[in-house]
Structure formats: C-alpha cells, structure tokens
Amino acid sequence: MNALRYLPFVARGLRRDGPPLHLTLFVTGACNLRCRHCFHWKEVAEGIQGPSLEKIQRLADSAATMGPLLWVSFGGGEPFLRRDLPDLADAFGRHGLRHLAIPTNGLIKHMDGSIDAILERCPQTYLSVSVSFDGPPAVHDAIRQIDGGHAKSMAAVKRLKERAADEPNLGVGVIVTVTAENQDSLAGHLEELVDELHPDNVTINLARQTALDESLLVVDLARYREVVETKRRLMDAGKLPYFDFPLAKVAVARDRLMYDHVEQVAAGGAKRHLPCTAGALSAVIFEGGEVHPCEVLGKPMGQLDDFDWDLAALWRAHEAKELRREIIDTRCECTWECAQADNVLFNARAWPKLLAQMTVGRAERR
C-alpha cells in the first residue's frame, strides 16, 4: 500500500465541516454468544437483522461521493454470521477503502472462506481481523458463556496467522476488554497470548456504558493501566509489532496517547479536553439504519431510511448539524476508544505529543 494514498485525509482532519473519514457499521445484531460484558446485548438478544446488501451498497456509493473513506469497521453481533460479508466489504472496497476492520469471536466455521473472498475482491483494502479474548480459559468461557470457547478462538488466530504469512493485506489481532471479572488476570494472560499467538496488534477496550451483567463494569483503573502498560512493554521489547501498513508508526503513537486519555476520562475528567470529532469525522450506523455520532451518546443524527440510504444527504441535514454543534458546545467526552483515537490523531494541539511518542517508541525499541 502506498503512503501517498493517505494524503487526502490530512487536511480533512483539521476541518470541522466535511465528509466522514470513518464509519462503524453494525451489519447484524445476530450473535452465536451471549457475552456478559456486551454493551449491545439488547440488540443481540432480539437478533436484529442488519441492513440489506442493497442498502449498504447505496450507503457506500453515497459515501464515495463525499470523499474517500479511511476506515470502515463491521460491528455486531457477530459480523461473520452474514454469509454476504464479502459483498458488503466489496461495496466499500470498490471505492478505494483504505482499511476494513472486523472484530470477531473467531467461532464461525465459514469465517476463513469469507476472509479469502474479501481479500480477493478488495485488493486495495488492508483487512484487519481481530479475535476477542477475555482472560484465561475459565474466565473467558465464563464471561462469554461458552464451554471451550477460548481454545477454539486460539485455534482461529493460529489459522489466520498462517494465512497472513502469504497475504500482505491481512492483519491478525486480538481484542481484550478489561472488566471487573478479568481485571486481576488479564495483564498476565495478555503476555501469554502474545507469546503463543504472535498477533499483529492488541486492542484494549475498557468495559463501558451498559452490559448484560452490569457488575462487570466496575473496573479498577489501576488494573486497566496494568494491561495498557503490558501492551507497551511488549511492543517496546519487539514482541508485539503492529499492523503492517503505511504510517503504522503514527497509529502506534496515537494509541499510546489514546489509552492515557481514556483512563483520564474514566477517572473523572481529562487534564486537557480534546474536542470530540464524533459526528464530524466519524459515525456509527446501527442495524436499523439509525446514524449516531458514536456508540455512547445515545442521540441520533438521523435515520437513513428517511434519506433512501443516502449518507451525504443525511450528513447535510439540520439534525446532524445541530448534534455536531451540541457535541462541541457541551465538551462531550467518553471512554469510547474509536472516538478518542480520532480525537488524538486529528487535533493539531495533540501533534507535538504524537511526535514525541513516535520518538520515544523508536528509542525504546532500539
């Protein structure tokens, strides 16, 4: 992938008005698990169907008229339950999508075939597939309410890593979510996962908002920090690389600052407010077509069915403009990692720290 393909996003990141750079699209509410820390548990319990392929194609075509997308993430539910996932990926990939991220539990039998089809049909897109782990086997299986789930997910990562050895556009990561139930064992298990699976990246989430079992949301932030520091130490030691795409070093530095900011917000307020870019640079599209600035705020920008799935028209509508203004005026902030990552990356005030982190990271890895 050519680094020059990223130039169009630099100027856009400095303007409040303009097209989104990244979309999170909930392609289905159906799931084969009932994870106790899932914030989307109500939709999962109802098995809400995702938008049709035709609607997603209209969405992708409309987004392309606004400008290139940097990143699309397929959410759920379990995204790989959709047999037409390669078609959904192609809807965006044919317009030059740079990155497609798919989180998964790794338990769907036809997942490997879907990944092969996406790679074949979207040669310009870097695909990152990340499998979730919630602690050592007994803890993981208890949180996800499935016997033997941890072992099956481990096997899935090993298969995907073998596939990635011959495919430069495939990155294989793991996701961990810090909860009250795994917080005392997750840092140590993260090290075990890296040693055995050699993932390209580890994504760390902090349990948030709501959950099927809300007792899991009460997290000791010292334990969260321990997990974050474990990831940093593994990266600095060269044991944990990062997804191999142009400007990956910028993404590594961004994540370091993002985790610090998430912890500060969770503790009751950041030392320095980062204006939120949700609803301006990014949006979340839920299964029924309701567009939100993020997964947390709970206020819609509009309903795509009212615009024939024309995102450009919805983006320009009065309701969307008003919500963007409200987010800025109220100094809205939360611990949602996707928004905070954008807030760090596309805020010129944060760039000196970003450059410093890149320098520190290089020095520590020598």
pLDDT digits (tens, 9 = 90+) for 266-292: 998 777 788 999 999 999 999 999 999
pLDDT tens-digit profile of 209-233? 899 999 999 999 999 999 999 999 9
- Asked if pLDDT for residue 136 goes beyond 70, the answer is yes
Between CA 90 and CA 268 the distance in angstroms is 42
- Asked if pLDDT for residue 365 goes beyond 60, the answer is no
Biggest CA pair distance of the chain: 55
Provide the token pair at 295: 């997964």
E-assigned strand segments in the chain: 22-26, 71-75, 99-104, 126-133, 170-178, 201-206, 282-285, 290-292, 302-303
Q: Tell which residue, 74, 48, 46, 44, has the closest CA to residue 59.
A: 74
Ordered domains of the chain (ranges, CATH): 16-358 (3.20.20.70)
pLDDT, the chain, mean: 93
pLDDT tens-digit profile of 233-256? 999 999 999 988 777 888 888 898
Q: Following DSSP, what letter does each residue of 304-335 receive, concatenated?
A: GGGGTT-HHHHHHSHHHHHHHHHHHHTT----
pLDDT tens-digit profile of 137-152? 999 999 999 999 999 9
Task: Judge whether 46 and 59 are in contact, CB under 8 Å.
Answer: no
Radius of gyration for the alpha carbons in the chain, expressed in angstroms and rounded: 19
Cis peptide before 77 (omega within 30 of 0): yes
